[in-house]
Each structure stands twice: as C-alpha cells, then as structure tokens.
Chains A and B, each alone.
Chain A
Amino acid sequence: MSAVVRPRARSGLWPALGFTLLALAISLLAYVLAGLGKRGHVPVTVGLYGSIFAVGYLAAWLAIRRLAPGADPALFPTAAVLVGLGFAVIFRLSGGLAAEQATWIALGLAAFCATLFLVRDHRQLDAYTYTIGLAGLVLLLLPIVPGIGREINGARLWVRVGPVGFQPSELGKVLIAVFLASYLAEKRELLRVATRTLGPLRLPPARHLMPVLLAWGASLAILFLQRDLGASLLYFGVFVVMLWVAAGRFAYLAVGGLLFSLGAWLGYRAFEHVQLRVDVWLHALDPDKVFAQGYGQLAQAWFGMATGGLVGTGLGRGSPGLIPFAATDFIFAAIGEELGLLGTAAVLLLYVTLVGKALRTALACPDAFGRLLATGLATTVALQTFVIVGGITRVIPLTGVTLPFVSYGGSSLVSNFVLLALLVRIDAGPAPPDAWRPGRRT
C-alpha cells in the first residue's frame, strides 16, 4: 500500500463554501452565456433559475456543514459544476426542457439533503441487506409489469402511473450497490479462499462462484426482457468490480470478463438492434450507410464535435439541435460542439475528480461495508460515464445511458444526487449527534 490517506482537518468550512460558490458561479455564467449566445440578451428566467441554483447549492452546503462536517469540501461542488453545465446546454437546446430540468435539480438537491438527514451513519444501511436488495430488484423489474411499463425507443425502461413517468432502474442501481456492498462485506472471507487452479487463475470453490453466475443471469435477463444494453452492462460491470475488490482475487475479474464476452455475443446473435448498434459503430461515417435508419445519430454527433474544435462555437452559438437526443444521451456531443475539446476534457476531468474522491473515500473508510459501497458507487458513475462517452466517441458500440448529473432526466438526476449523498456520508463518517435530530421538537 503506497497510498496513505491522512486524516483530514475537521475545520474545512471555508474551502467547502469556496468550492460551492465557485460551482455556483460556473453554473450561472454558463447559463447566462447560453442565453446571450442564443437570443442575444440575458435570459428572462435568470431570476427564477438563478435563485433555484443559489438556494439549492447553498442549502446543500449548509446540510453538509451541519450533518456531514468531515466531508471532502469539493465532493458536492464537483457534481454541482456538472449539473450546472448540463443545465446550460439543456437550456440552450430547449426552454421547456430546461424548466423541467430546473424542477428536477431542485428535487434532486432536496433528495440529497434528505438522504444526508435520514442516513446519519452509512452503517445503518448495512442492517437491511435483503430488504434493500429486494427493493432494488423490484425497481429493476417494474417496467416489465404489464399495464404500467412503457417501451420508449426500443427499451422497456419506463413506468407510468397516471401522469408521472419515471425510470425505476435509476434508483434501483443505487439500491443494488448498497445490497452488494452489504452482502459482499459479509461474505468476503469466503470469497477470498482459492482452492483450485485453472491455468494461471486460482479459482475459489464453485459454489462461491454462484453469485457471479446469478448476477450474470440477472444482467442477461435485463438485456433480454427490457432490451436495455447500457443498464445490463452497467450492473454486471459494477457487480464484478465490487466482487473483485471484496475478494481481492483477479480470478473474479477474469471470469467476469469471460462471462461478459459470452453475454455480449449472445446478445449480438439474438437481437437485431444490437447488430445494428455494432454496425453503426463500425460504419458510422460510411457514405453508403450514413443516411440509413439509425446511422445518422453518431455522424451528427461527430460533425457537431468537429465543428466545436478546440474551444467550441460558444454556448448558444452552435447548432447542437441537429444532434438527436442532444439533451439526454448525446449531451456530451452538444458540449463538444459549443465548448470544444477543452470543454469536454473539463467534463471528463470533473468525473475523474469525482471518482477519484469517491475512491479516496473508500480507501479511508474504516469499515468494510463503507469501503465496498463507496467503491461500488464510484464504479457506477465511472462505468456509466465510460459507456456513454465511449459510445459517442466510438470507442465502444453506443448504448443509451444518461451522462450522470449532466443529462436531462429526472429519475437519473434525483438518483445520482442520492448516490452523491451516500458518498458524502461515507466520506464524513457518522453525523454529529446534536445536528438536526429527527423527531426532536424545539
């Protein structure tokens, strides 16, 4: 172990406020700039949205200060900058979407504060291993239920009850990470034992490999029943990484990789839309195919990013409206067009910072459950970012997932804020006993 985590000084008030104010300044500047670039004047909604950002960010800062005073000062602000940048791009694309996104940001920040308030010590989640696991599973499978499940863009991901539609799998992924951390922290001693060797790999007993096969089966079920490539990849990836970290055995990563390849091949053989994705990936700019159904998206995204060049056309001054799904899956390309290579590199660096801080939290956490949970949550953000950014830049075939904190979408934003609150909680340790006790009247 060369990396050593030093105990942090507890008096980090001003750095945290400084980072929060800087995040607020970036968010507001990006938003005003988007209005200036698009319409030539400061947006008329500046008072409304400006105050949502100001009140929300400062409320979150205050909640961290009171409920999680030991937390990293830049953990929340890093996510806040991503949210602000995403909002500016969404506002630039459509005022209507921006109004919805502002509501979701307010709700997400409220969920962030509520999570910090309710989860006063992350170890209290460790007591409900199977309840949380079951809840997560139900949320994942909810869209399959006939009557309330809806199929949108070829994937069965949505649940609609009356006028309210949401993607339960987004919250499900957080609950599944909590469940896995709790389960694996308990079983890690068993998983660590290796009894047999297979070539260069030392394998644990077969029955301890069962959970891997089970998770693989569940991911395939998601793939086949909901036709959601991105989520399937995400769950399985997070599971394998957490198992690997819990057990400290490379064999799990290798077996996981093999199973993943097998699953990917099965998916490719079984589904036409998977074959199409692979073909688009290989021939995105092929002049013979670019006008065919399904091929234009990536080409538009690439032309958008190429137009942006090094510093971009400036917020509001490009034409990212040509990119399909520019506010959700392809928002990275829209950022590339209007803020250029420097803007997209900044976004990636923000994720590196966020994930780095989360892994540092894992390293410093004294209990196994917290370590695994922080690792799992960090992997969720990292893998999701990789899947969508890799898809847009054609490193891997494109699968539609949201860019965490940046993309338009309520379920995704609120769940990611809950995820962030858990990271802040693990980083800070238990809440001070006198801070805003629930149920105490004054």
Chain B
Amino acid sequence: MPPFALSALKYALLALLYLFIYRAVRSVAAGIAPRPSPTAPSGAPAAKRPPRRRPPTTLVVHVPDGSRPRTVRLTGPLEIGRAETCQVRLDDAYASLHHARLQHRDGAWVIEDLGSTNGTYVNDRRIAAPVEVHAGDVVRIGKTVLELRR
C-alpha cells in the first residue's frame, strides 16, 4: 500500500477520533449547562411564542432520579418545599423548607419565591419578585424541574 494512502487513513482515524470526542463532549456539556430551551417535552421555548400564553392547569414534577414524574392539579394555592406541610413536597437537598408559592391571582397563576437559599428559576431565570407563569413554562427548584401544562 502506498505511503500516502496510509497517511490518508491515519488522518481519517484522527478525524474520527476527534469527531467522537466532539460529539461526546457536547453531550456532557449539554447535560450540565442550563440551556435556553430546557427539559419541557414539548421542547419549544415558551418565551418565544407569545401568542400561546394560556393559563396552566397542571403541574408536572420531574424528580432528578429519573423516576416517574408526579402530576399535581392546580386548584388552589400550592406551597412548594421540603417541609411536611407543603402541598408539593420535594425531596431535594437544594430546596428550602418553604421554597416557593404558586397561587392564582387576578386571573393568572403567579409563582413567588419565599426567600429560599438557592432561588427559584422560571425558564432558567432566577426570579426576584412574583412572576406570572403560563402553560409551557418550566420552573426549577434545586435539582427538581416543575413543568406547567395545560
């Protein structure tokens, strides 16, 4: 076999190696860094579709251990946190005892951080004041992801 063919194959091998590394590293990075479009199975970022801002009717709780998500109907005010008294109890070391409150106010659902240590994130933005949430929005508390659905 001519040497140039061997060299070409050598470069092909190195290229394949780096292709593998690129794809594998990208999947690590994608796993750790919060991306603009988070885990909602519907996929599309809610913020970019202003026409479809409907009120949510259910809250889906995704626990990081990969077990089946819990579904909570939105009827009255919900307190979210690690405390026994919370309507949505989280077994999450990064959540505060009384972490956040979700309640109906003036015709919309509003989430409010109750002075938690690690903060409440709506669509990957930490909230400072009560924020209106809509179907398709994603709330993150500690390692737990709460998804609002119609």
B19, A6: Cβ atoms closer than 8 Å? no
A317, B6: Cβ atoms closer than 8 Å? yes
What's the nearest-Cβ distance from chain A to residue B149, in Å?
16
Closest to A32 in B: B9
Near A by CB (< 8 A), chain B positions 21-61 give 21, 23-25, 27-28, 31-34, 38-39, 41
Residue A429 at the chain B interface, CB threshold 8 Å:
yes
Residue A105 at the chain B interface, CB threshold 8 Å:
no
A429, B118: Cβ atoms closer than 8 Å? no
What's the nearest-Cβ distance from chain B to residue A13, in Å?
14
Residues of A within 8 A of B66 (CB): 7-8, 10, 70, 428-429
We find that the number of chain B residues with CB closer than 8 angstroms to chain A is 39
Stretch at the interface among A21-29, A260-268, A294-302: A21-29
Instruction: A342 to B65: give the CA distance in the assembly, Å.
Output: 38
Near A by CB (< 8 A), chain B positions 91-111 give 91, 94
A349, B21: Cβ atoms closer than 8 Å? yes
Q: Which of A73, A360, A366 contacts B63 (CB 8 A)?
A: A366
Residue B134 at the chain A interface, CB threshold 8 Å:
no
A5, B17: Cβ atoms closer than 8 Å? no
Instruction: A1 to B32: give the CA distance in the assembly, Å.
Output: 11
Residue A43 at the chain B interface, CB threshold 8 Å:
no
Q: Which of B7, B27, B143 contacts A314 (CB 8 A)?
A: B7
Residue B82 at the chain A interface, CB threshold 8 Å:
no
Residue B64 at the chain A interface, CB threshold 8 Å:
yes
A36, B6: Cβ atoms closer than 8 Å? yes
Instruction: Give the residue among A1, A77, A363, A366 with the most B Cβ atoms within 10 A.
Output: A366
- Contact string against B for A residues 14-56, beta-carbon threshold 8 Å, 1 for contact and 0 otherwise: 0100010011011001100100110011000000000000000
B65, A349: Cβ atoms closer than 8 Å? no
Instruction: A119 to B6: give the CA distance in the assembly, Å.
Output: 44
- Contact string against B for A residues 334-367, beta-carbon threshold 8 Å, 1 for contact and 0 otherwise: 0000010011001001101100110010011111
A7, B27: Cβ atoms closer than 8 Å? no
Closest to A34 in B: B13
B64, A364: Cβ atoms closer than 8 Å? yes
Q: Which of A6, A15, A343, A366 contacts B39 (CB 8 A)?
A: A6
The A-B contact count (CB < 8 A) is 123
Q: Which of B9, B10, B63, B143 contacts A5 (CB 8 A)?
A: B143
Residue B122 at the chain A interface, CB threshold 8 Å:
no
Chain A interface size, as a band, is 35 or more
Residues of A within 8 A of B7 (CB): 314
Instruction: A317 to B64: give the CA distance in the assembly, Å.
Output: 49
Residue A198 at the chain B interface, CB threshold 8 Å:
no
B1, A36: Cβ atoms closer than 8 Å? yes
B6, A33: Cβ atoms closer than 8 Å? yes
> With A81-B17, A81-B20 known to touch, is A5 a contact of B27 (CB < 8 Å)?
no
> With A74-B23, A317-B6, A349-B25 known to touch, is A7 a contact of B64 (CB < 8 Å)?
yes
Q: Which of B10, B23, B31, B63 contacts A33 (CB 8 A)?
A: B10
Residues of A within 8 A of B64 (CB): 5, 7, 364, 366
What's the nearest-Cβ distance from chain A to residue B124, in Å?
9
> With A33-B13, A346-B17, A350-B21 known to touch, is A4 a contact of B34 (CB < 8 Å)?
yes
> A residues engaging B (CB < 8 A)?
1, 3-10, 15, 19, 22-23, 25-26, 29-30, 33, 36-37, 40-41, 70, 72-74, 77-78, 81, 85, 311-312, 314-315, 317, 339, 342-343, 346, 349-350, 352-353, 356-357, 360, 363-367, 428-429
Q: Can you list 22 pairs linking A and B with CB atoms under 8 Å apart? A: A1-B94, A4-B143, A5-B32, A7-B62, A9-B41, A19-B20, A19-B24, A29-B12, A36-B1, A37-B6, A73-B27, A74-B28, A78-B20, A81-B20, A311-B10, A315-B13, A356-B28, A357-B24, A360-B31, A366-B63, A428-B66, A429-B67
Q: A311-B10, A342-B14, A364-B31 are in contact. List 8 more A-B contacts (CB 8 A).
A: A36-B6, A74-B24, A81-B20, A311-B11, A311-B14, A339-B10, A343-B17, A353-B21
> B residues engaging A (CB < 8 A)?
1, 6-7, 9-14, 16-21, 23-25, 27-28, 31-34, 38-39, 41, 62-67, 91, 94, 118, 140, 143, 145
The 3 closest A-B pairs by CB, nearest first: A366-B65, A74-B24, A346-B17
